[in-house]
Amino acid sequence: MAASGLFRELYCAVCFDLFSDPVSLPCDHTFCRRCIEKCQSTLTPQCPECRAGFAQGEFRTNRALRNMADRLQTELNLCNCPEHQEKMKLFCETDRQLICVVCRDGQTHREHKCKPISEAAAISRAELEKALEFLSKDNAALTHLIAQQSDEIRKTKERSTLLMDQITAQFAELQRFLRERMRVLKEEAAREEERALTPLQGSLAVMTRALTARQQREQMLRSALDISESDRFQQWWINKGSSAVEELKNRNGGARVPRGRAANDMFKSEAKGFRVTPASLHCPSLGPYDSHLQFFVWKEMLQVIKPVPTHVTLEDLNDPLLKVSADSVRHVDLNSRALWRFGDGPEFSMSHTWSRESFRSGQQYWEVAVGEKSHWSLGLDAQLSSSKQAICRLNGRLGKYRVKTQKEIPLDLPVRPKKIGTFLDCERKRIYFYNADNMTLIHSTAYDTDKSLFVYFNPGFYFKGENGDPLTVCCY
């Protein structure tokens, strides 16, 4: 009822049709522009509704009513069949379009399946509600995933910040140690300098005092040369000069100077009584810090480095072909009789051992010296119920290197490693191999087991005097 009353307000009282370009008169009644323009043709134009007069052109466009009328006209056009101008009351399921009753009975839709619009709309509304319910749940799930991903981003940033702070703190600790060690060594060097300079400066002081006395005597004797009168000069010689010159002579200075001998030889040299004390006799020294300062300071630095490499000990499996200690393993020397079953020589030894320790959490790092060995293998094995399964192996054979996981990967190393560092990250399940001499990465790989991991050692055959060095765990 309210809607129909509202629709009536959108119809012109003159032409009884929807407003077309509605205009309002001074009396606030609204009509179509063309209807008012007809009224203006009279001598005294009046409002068709209240008969109030108005002047020519005294009206204004009512945009609000025009917009409402245009919108209603659009909706009415949609509800009416464009072909038959009948209200569309049916939905053709075959062509999926709205039709009127005349269309249904016509040639186009006669054989089609149709149903009332209200029934079709109810079905469509139910399908829409299902789609919206699904979309709402899916959006909620996606929102939850976005929140989780945002939280992971936050955690990553926090981890990165923590890592940055950790780097800064650890370098600051090393810098504090180095500054303190530099201060102590400089103080020791200063004390060494003072110790070394004491005898050298003492010798210099004695020489300086002797030189001062000799210079004073030289000045006194040289001043006598300015005495021109013979009597005065001779009197000075008697009083001072003769005794002063005699003191300069050697003990045999009164003897006659042999012919061919320099006159200076009759005098006693003060300079010849001194020797320059060489710095090498009292050179300041800090012992091994003179030449190996960085190495010794690095060794001292290990006291403040935390954590240090993991201490890995080897398990003795009583293999007769292996010699095992707590930190090393080597193959026994196999003679030709023991190698009969290997033909011309073995490709690789099957004898190996593992670490006593196992790892399944945290981060671990250890180093193993391989030296000049021609054959060796290092890696990690997982503990199964009654045996161990190879997870990752780094193999060295005659200067060629391979990593073996589920497949074997050849490696091209620019430098032959003498020491292998292994980093095990149990949290991220990754294994890293390094050249421990220069800390360059050799290879990294992932693993997927949750079992405990043991360090694998295979020293390779000791054959015909070759490859006899052990694999040795480095301790710091």
pLDDT computed for residue 336 by the predictor: 44
| 322-473 carries CATH number 3.40.50.1970 | no
Question: Which run of H or E residues covers position 192?
Answer: helix 117-223
Ranges of CATH 3.30.40.10 domains, the chain = 2-116
Strand ranges (E), 17-155? 22-24, 30-32, 60-61, 90-92, 97-99, 114-116
Ranges of CATH 2.60.120.920 domains, the chain = 322-473
Tell me the residue type at 96. R
Question: Which run of H or E residues covers position 378?
Answer: strand 375-383
pLDDT computed for residue 250 by the predictor: 67
pLDDT computed for residue 265 by the predictor: 67
Q: Tell me if the pTM is above 0.75.
A: no
Backbone dihedral angles phi then psi of residue 88, each to the nearest 5 degrees? -80, 115
pLDDT computed for residue 7 by the predictor: 67
Mean pLDDT by groups of 10 residues along the chain of 476 residues: 60 84 90 85 81 83 86 67 75 85 77 86 92 96 96 95 92 91 92 88 91 89 89 90 84 49 68 82 78 85 80 91 91 60 49 93 94 94 87 93 93 94 94 94 94 94 83 89
Distances (CA, A) of 424 to 34, 364, 407, 427, 428: 91, 5, 20, 9, 9
Half-sphere exposure of 453 (CA within 13 A, CB side): 26
Closest CA to 33 of 23, 24, 41, 25: 23
Distances (CA, A) of 11 to 6, 19, 72, 74, 368: 10, 5, 11, 15, 98
Alpha-carbon Rg of the chain, whole angstroms?
Answer: 56
pLDDT computed for residue 436 by the predictor: 92
User: 331, exposed or middle or buried, with CB in 10 Å at 0-12, 13-18, 19+?
Assistant: buried
Task: Give CA–CA dist 204/190, Å, rounded.
Answer: 20
CATH, domain 2-116, list 3.30.40.10, 3.40.630.40, 3.40.47.10, 3.90.1640.30: 3.30.40.10
The b/e string for 338-377 (b: 16+ C-beta within 10 A; e otherwise) is eeeeeeeebeebebbbbbebbbeeeebbbbbbbeebebbb
Tell me the residue type at 467. N
Distances (CA, A) of 472 to 310, 371, 394: 14, 9, 16
Half-sphere exposure of 261 (CA within 13 A, CB side): 11
